[in-house]
Amino acid sequence: MIALTNPTQLLQRANEYLLTGNYIQAANLYEQAINTEPDIKVYYWYLGLTLLLQGQEVEAQTTWFIAMMEGEDEKINQWNAELVEVLQTEAARRQELEEFSVAEKIRQNIKQLSPDNVHNLLYIVQLYIYLDKYTNEDLQELKLIEFIKNQNKLEVDLDLLSKTIEMILKYAPLYSSTISFIEIASQKYKENLATLISILLPAAVDIAYSHRQARLAARLAEIYLSLDSLNAEFLGHLASFYQNAGEYELGIETAKTFYYLVDNLPEQVFANRQILRGLMTAGGHWEESCSINQRQQNLLAALIQANPQDLAQINVVRMLNANFFAFYIEDNPKKNRDLQNKLLQICQANHAIYAQETLEKYSQGHLQKKKEITLDKKLKIGYISHCLRSHSVGWLARWLLQYHDRNKFQINGYFINSDNVCDILHQWYVNQMDKSYKSYNVWSLAEEIYQDEIDILIDLDSITLDTTCEVMAFKPAPIQVTWLGWDASGSPSIDYFIADPYVLPESAQEYYQEKIWRLPQTYIAVDGFEVNVPKVRRDEFDIPDDAVVYFCGQRGFKRHPDITRLQLRIIREVPNSYFLIKGLADEESIQKFFAQIATEEGVDYARLRFLPDAPSEGVHRANLDIADVVLDTYPYNGATTTLETLWMCIPMVTRVGEQFAARNSYTMMMNAGITEGIAWTDEEYVEWGIRLGKDETLRQQIAWKLRQSRKTAPLWNGQQFAREMEKAYEQMWQKYIDADNVSSLKKINL
């Protein structure tokens, strides 16, 4: 035993041993100190701690108990507080060293000494998360919610509370206890709302879009707004959360409140867009939708006239898809695309200011790398999207990925908001890539693409996701292409837009900012679709076996009243016919919408049926077999739904227009070898609908042609399509390397 008699020296040396992990020596010295000064309780606290650290928990607790057993209540409380302070100091040190198991053991002992010590309980929650052992029941078992709720005057360290909330939201956002905890804990932030919103807003956005739990995200927003009811930022997001959760009327009213709270032009554009989004998604609100869309057009015209050059990044991002719904309301591509192009030019100009350093870095990097290009280079192709999962785009793009020639192309995937570990199709995409990268941070995505030296970057989202659009604005690849998603964005950062001979008229280049690259036959092809067992029968809907069943399965914002009126005229003219309607929308408003038009057109509402959602895509396709004729929408056609209809060999009627979205079904039917059902006027649409309904033989002939088309038609040849896309990539690359300098390509104005 070390012969030290000075208590101060004993304690100092013992503490040194404790810090270096020499617990046996430390314990010996603490015992010496106790023998020298038995009334100094701190020696007992440290002796017990060394025993605890050696795994002798019972001995440690006994040591502390013996030291306290002869004291009065007041003295015991004082000693207890001293012991807790010693243990807290060591627990904090161990947590800092990331020795989480040790820290948790110490804090569990603090909990026994001071069970209502909220700060200690918060640290225990953090340690559970670090140790990956946190469960939905822990907050209840620790009584943390109860302690915070019942002690309104309790002073809580907001930094500690904030970190704990952030950790819980990241680790277990979907636990029921998470919301209960935040609901109570938020009351501690009444005087510090800025801190609370900085925690809850990013978490709510992540829950809504990465985890696709819109209602849960809305609940977080509601908790915050209970303290700050007129916070415009949260109201703007809450409108989307409600709409995504199918609470359309709440979403619309929230968006209207948001609109009347903002007073500058960029925010008004975004707020008005949120109103329009709610109305269009719900479906059936067409008169108000058209009014709000006209206001949106006026706001956008004013914004373009003002040409602001000082927009914050968040405002730029919100401008990217501000004109999204105009294409669903009106088939006027010259007008709508001119507005879209000008809007995206303003976005790009502002992006070039706040991201100037990064854009210059990428531009100079592309120029330098171009000098080092060799002709036998293996092209690096990058695909970026939030839709490479069980989504319309995901079901269509897979054949290109499957058939890519890996000897000539390296294929990378950049997945946005991709918390899709249970999505089989998403995992398939991940496995198809030579490299996969997941993030929703635009800066890190752009940097990853640039560092990967991607030669051609393919955007599958266009303006359906602002994150993708902003990544493309960085120009992280020297050649950038939009394919498949929605339509071209109009961004100056995009070089090419993939089309074919049919999906855009010959004059389309006049109103496209991007160079239209037309593939020789079709801009999309698939080898087919998985089809399961149907889950619907005619007798379930009280439809006779000999009836003619018309079907339309589109989302609410595609149900334009003009095309709906034509569809109901067809029903009226075909005896013993029924109209089966399916698609995401507000059930009540859609049924009122159809009831009103049916009354105006003299159609018995009893001939309309509303089909619920199918449990899977395969069942949805099988359910199409209930239909005799599919009636397409206009001015925004079906795309995936059209392909599925043709694959199921069902005749369909489509109205061809001028814009890309109004010609999707036309190009697909042409590439399946079918012209029957293609209408160029409203009158032809009705005529084809009536004819196909009345002529069973014609329907059978079309079905036979569609079945035969599977053997030879371009639409059903994914491998040939992949070769054509690859040839396009090679030709784009050849144009790039043949150019005298990079400025000969379409570039961003820096």
Which of the residues in the chain have pLDDT under 50?
A: 1-2, 741-750
> What pLDDT is attached to residue 1?
44
Please give the model's pTM, rounded to 2 decimal places: 0.90
> What pLDDT is attached to residue 152?
62
> What pLDDT is attached to residue 615?
72
Strand 479-482 to 456-459 pairing? parallel
- Cα 539 to Cα 537: distance, rounded to the nearest angstrom: 6
Q: Pick the closest to residue 614 from 531, 543, 529, 703 (CA basis).
A: 531
Beta bridge partners of 414: 384, 437
- Cα 598 to Cα 594: distance, rounded to the nearest angstrom: 6
- Residue/partner pairs of 335-342 with CB below 8 Å, 24 or more apart: 336/659, 337/488, 337/490, 337/511, 337/512, 337/659, 338/511, 339/297, 339/300, 339/301, 339/304, 340/489, 340/490, 341/490, 341/511, 341/512, 341/513, 342/304
Torsion of CA 511, 514, 516, 522, to 10 degrees: -110
CATH numbers and ranges of domains, the chain: 356-527+725-744 (3.40.50.11380), 538-716 (3.40.50.2000)
Residues 6+ apart with CB under 8 A from 186: 196, 200, 223, 224, 226, 227
Question: How do residues 561-590 score in pLDDT, each as one tens digit?
Answer: 999 999 999 999 999 999 999 877 888 889
Three-state DSSP at 409 gives strand
Q: Pick the closest to residue 678 from 696, 705, 656 (CA basis).
A: 656
Angle of the 286-306 helix axis to the 333-354 helix axis, nearest 10: 50
Q: Positive or negative CA dihedral for 723, 725, 729, 734?
A: positive
**Do 609 and 541 touch, CB atoms closer than 8 A?**
yes
The phi, psi pair for 484, rounded to 5°, reads: 85, -50
Type and span of the H or E element at 459: strand 456-459
Torsion of CA 677, 681, 683, 684, to 10 degrees: -20
Q: Pick the closest to residue 597 from 571, 561, 633 (CA basis).
A: 561
Beta bridge partners of 459: 384, 482
Q: Positive or negative CA dihedral for 482, 282, 621, 573?
A: negative
**Do 468 and 449 touch, CB atoms closer than 8 A?**
no
Torsion of CA 237, 471, 414, 233, to 10 degrees: -10
One DSSP character per residue, 732-747 reads HHHHHHHSSSGGGS--
**Do 718 and 403 touch, CB atoms closer than 8 A?**
yes
**Do 593 and 664 touch, CB atoms closer than 8 A?**
no
